[in-house]
Structures are given as C-alpha cells and as structure tokens.
A and B are shown apart, each in its own frame.
Chain A
C-alpha cells in the first residue's frame, strides 16, 4: 500500500510538471511565433459569438494576426469579469464593454484612440478626460416591438406604427385586437435590466435636461409624482400591464416564451430593442416586424422617437501586460472593421448590427435593426443616459418596477420609493 501510495504521488507530481512545462511553452507563443501576433478579445455581445469566431479565423488567414475571441460570462457582470482580468494582470487586448464601464476603466487602462482614421466617421465614440477611449460597436435603440402580421390579421388593414403614437390610439388598437380574439396582445419583460435600465430609464432620458433632472432627484429636490414625462410614461406602462399576457404572474414572465409568442404572433407588442431579434429569430418568426416609439399622450415629440445610440464599446488595453505589437494589431483590427469591406460585412451582414459609422453602408439588416436605422438616419433617437447610479437597475428595476408590474404597488408608492432611493444613491462622476 505504501508503495502504491508513493508511486501514485510520484506519477501525479511528474505528470503535473510535464503539463506545467507544456502549457508554459504554449503561453509564450504570444506575439513571437510565426508571422503574426496574437491578440485576445472579450466579446460581451454574446449573441454574435459564433460569427465573431468565424470572422477571427478568416481574419487570421488574411492578415496573419491570431484573434482569440472570448465570450462574456453571463453569470456575472462584464465589469466584474474585466476587473478580475485586470486583478490577475492578464487583460484582454481588446475589451468590449458597456458605455458605463468605459468611464470607470478609461483613466487607468484605455489607450487613446483619437488619432485613429475612423474617429472622424463617428460621433458616438466615448471621450473621457480628452482621451477617445471607446470605439462604438453598433447603434441600438429601444421602443415597442410590433408584429405587423399579427395585427393585420385582425384589423385587416396595413399597420402604420405612426397611427398609434398617442396612448389613446394605442389603447384603441389594443381593444380592437382584443375584440378580434387576441385576448392579451402585450408582453412585458420582467427582467430588472429591461424594467430599470430600459423602460424606467426613459423617464430620465425623455426629460429636456436628463442630467439636471437626475441631479435634482439625487439632491432630493425633484417632485417625481408631478413630473409630466414620468406620468406619461407610467400611464403607458399601466396600459401595457393591463394587456400583458403574463398578468397575474407578471414578475416572472419568461423571456424566451415572450419572444416566441411575439415571433409567432400570439401577442402583437413587446417592449424591447433591436437586440431582441437574436431571440425572436430562433422561433417561427415573420419578417413583418419593427420597432416603434413608446406611445404616449404627450405634448412634445418624444412619442415619435426611439431611445438609443451607440452601444457596446471596444477599448484597447494600455497596460504593460499588452505589448506594442499587440496594441498595434488591435488598432489595425478596429480600423479593418470600419474601413475594409470585409469588416463592414462582418458588422452589418453577419452580425446584423446597425453601424455606428457614417461610411458604412447597411442595407441587409434585420427588420428591427432597419427600424432603428431609419429612426437614426432621420435624427429621431433620444440619446441614452449613461450616468445612472450603479444600483439603479437592481433597486428601481427589480425592487420597485417589478413590484409595480405585478400590481403590488401603487403609483404613489412607486414615487416615494424612487425618491427615497435617489436620496441615498451614489452619483456617478462624469
């Protein structure tokens, strides 16, 4: 037994050291071996991971640069994944993050991109302290997604989204659908990011001066309950609740199921954005879909605009963990995306993203992205507000809006809760 134990340990130790040697050799190939350098990319737009990997192979064949694409971890936030990578001194060469993360990362880790050729082709890049830090990956916008086939099957007329810009008209259509046999024509996603960062965020974004409004909330001065935009949006939300197919257990409506019902025309409307296409197209969908502004009974023109703008940003690592060759390769890659036809095709055709650059032609998009693009081209996008406190999504989205969605909270209680939240929230410096 003793011998057996010992020999086991010896074998274990030996094979361990063998592997140790093996993998350290593998590791040192970075940047040195063969013709090209090797860079790592974090892709946090997980729905394009497959396309991204295929593109990376083609890119290596064409340029000799090895691009290793890593998928963002869905169990945690992108910010914490990037943070642990920096803590372990093993950052990605190119990291794709949300706008908000750029602000916290830029000072320490982002390389200045302002001298790049593409910089003049976009207005959506993110500049932090005079440093162009974020490369915009695409344009995304949110609103109410509609299934025109499902509507037309009942009304018998071609659906024109602009005919339901006001809540009254929207409500009339919902009633017509209901009378025509579609008992519950609406889906509302219950995920806190959808409720907090996408729907309720419009309350700030549709203000004339979002920054001033949020600051007055933080200072405890704003009167949310009497705010016009707030009430208009919440009136619409009440209507969405009333016609929600998951009414009764609205707080845990299943995202896949809601998207499937919309795709198949079991429901006609769902609040969301053009990224939802990647779920919808998994089911028996129709091309006759689009995104329209959130209907509102309002005196301004917010009910003719979607809310959105640049979405997902690349930054290039500036730390010592990345060699100059790797950095150059990463910069070349970004330029390739914007200036090379292959790079353009990757963005617009393979990934169906609405490009954030004016020199990229995009005509082969999915229906939702086409909607977004038409609003963007017409200048009808209300910009995203990127400076909400970090816990806004979990507190306002989950604890407050979800409760309201489930009709377990009145509008007055919601107002008090949101105002209370802002009094103790930590503002984001910008």
Chain B
C-alpha cells in the first residue's frame, strides 16, 4: 500500500483523528475565536449590544497596574510551587515503587487529597492554618503566633503549601506510571554492571522517564499559572488583596467589576504567557525524550 499519497493520508487522518478534530474544534477552537472577538468590544457581560471598540481593552489591560502586580505574584508562586510539587511527587513515586511494604496503601493515601475539592478544601485548610498551626505556633514560641493567612507573604506561602498538597498526589500518579514503564530488566542489568540504586535512578530511570517529567512539568506550570479555585476558597485575595493571583484578578475584572472585555483581554494575555512558557518547556523536553 502506498503510504505517501494524499488520499491515504486523508483517510488515515480521518480514521484516527477525524472525530477528535471535529469535537476539539467545536468545543475549544470556535468558542476561543468568538472569545477573541469579544475582547474587541466593550460588552458589560449582560446587555444585548456589544459595541466594537478595537484594541481599547488591551490598552486598558496594559494600564491596569493591579493586573501586572498579580501576574508578578503568580510568577513567584508558580516557580516555587512547580519545583516543590514535582520534587515531592517524584520522591513519593520513587518510594512507593521501590517494593516496600504497604506501597499500595500509600499510593491510595497520597491520592486522596485529589478527591477533596472546592469549598471543603478551603474550609479545612483555613482551619488548619488559622487554628491548628496557630495553636502549635503559640505552644512552641510560648507567645501569640499569627496565622499564616493573616500576613501577605504567609498567604502566598499557604497557597503554595496547599498546591503541593493538592497536586503532589496527582503528579505522583504520572511518575509512578513512569517508574513502572522503566523495565525491570534494564535496572537489573545495570545492577549487575555495578550501578548503585542512586546511580541507576540518575542514569537510567530519569532519562527513560523524560516523558513523565515533560507531562508533569507542563501540567504543574499551567495549573499553577491559572490557579483559581484554591485561591478563591482559601484566601479570596485576603489580606488586603495581596494574595490575588492573576486568574482571580481576571475573573474579578470581568465579572465582579463588570469590565468583561478588559477581563477577557487580560485572560488572553495570561494565556499567551502560559502558552509560551509551556511551549518552550514541552519543546525542550520532547527533544530530550528517549525513543523506545
């Protein structure tokens, strides 16, 4: 069979990706283009007319200092959270695939945080920070400890802690799959050749797990950049709006302050930044991927 004719290619494409392409276009691409158009209007989000205003919303977005401050904060938060999430997830994944007792139990346990979402998550963690940690802190320093959530840096730190807690189990899952995909034979062979455990991780497992790293880094980077729900339920921007991350600012701009167009434009700028960072990361990662 000829595999380089146009008709063969089209048939193969339609067979394997036809439905996906249609669904993807309908659900993501077309609404996105419409959303792009809305950034060129001064719509308030509800009225029937959507006056066309050109790039005015982008001008507003660039002039909105609060947006850039929240974006800078998001960078700092993401950088720390991404590193911690992946480090913790990788270490846990390594430990629960090393053949210790009860590893299945641990795997389930670390996954549990993923099952608690939304307001309950915020409620429970608020309690942990405001009550449990404060009681502990007062006990240790025998004075009045202040809740992490009540200070500007503390609130961001709290967000990072909760993010690590929330995502580490999830990313662990991908790393576990990565560890499992590194064949036992290869590790055994390395041992016979005199590799220690650490050496075989660094020289064999990690390179073979590049795909897992690319996936996890991409997922954590993009999720951290766009984090909204934890931000809302844990701090809601308190204290004094100092913990509002970019997505929250965008959301408030569009729906609380009713500047739909400007909020939408700011969200698009956020999208472009994320896409560039994520794209570079995937590109670099894919280059280093080992082909089976």
Contacts and interface: CB of A to CB of B under 8 A. Distances in A.
Given A79-B255, A80-B255, A403-B240, A105 B46 contact: yes
Contacts of B256: 77, 80, 390-391, 393-394
A328 to B, nearest CB: 24
Interface residues of A, number: 34
A250 B238 CA distance: 11
Contact of A86 (B46, B147, B259): B46
Contact of A399 (B48, B144, B240): B240
Interface in A368-411: 390-391, 393-395, 398-400, 402-403, 406, 408
B238 A190 contact: yes
**Secondary structure class of chain A's binding surface, majority of residues:** helix
Contacts of B44: 104
B47 A104 contact: yes
A406 B150 contact: yes
Q: Number of contact residues on B: which range applies? A: 20 to 34
Contacts of A400: 240
Contact of B150 (A79, A105, A249, A395): A249
Contact of A76 (B46, B255, B258): B255
**Secondary structure class of chain B's binding surface, majority of residues:** loop
A158 to B, nearest CB: 36
B288 to A, nearest CB: 33
B215 interface: no
Contacts of B255: 76-77, 79-80, 83
A190 B239 CA distance: 9
A254 interface: yes
A130 interface: no
A145 interface: no
A252 B150 contact: yes
B279 interface: no
A287 interface: no
Nearest to B126: A254
Given A108-B47, A254-B130, A408 B240 contact: yes
- Tell me which of B238, B239, B256 has the highest count of chain A C-beta atoms within 10 A of its own C-beta: B239
24 contacts: A74-B119, A75-B232, A80-B255, A83-B46, A104-B47, A192-B237, A248-B150, A249-B130, A249-B147, A251-B239, A251-B240, A252-B149, A252-B150, A252-B238, A390-B256, A391-B252, A394-B237, A398-B237, A398-B241, A402-B241, A403-B239, A406-B239, A406-B240, A408-B239
Interface of A: 74-77, 79-80, 82-83, 86, 104-105, 107-108, 190, 192, 248-252, 254, 390-391, 393-395, 398-400, 402-403, 406, 408, 426
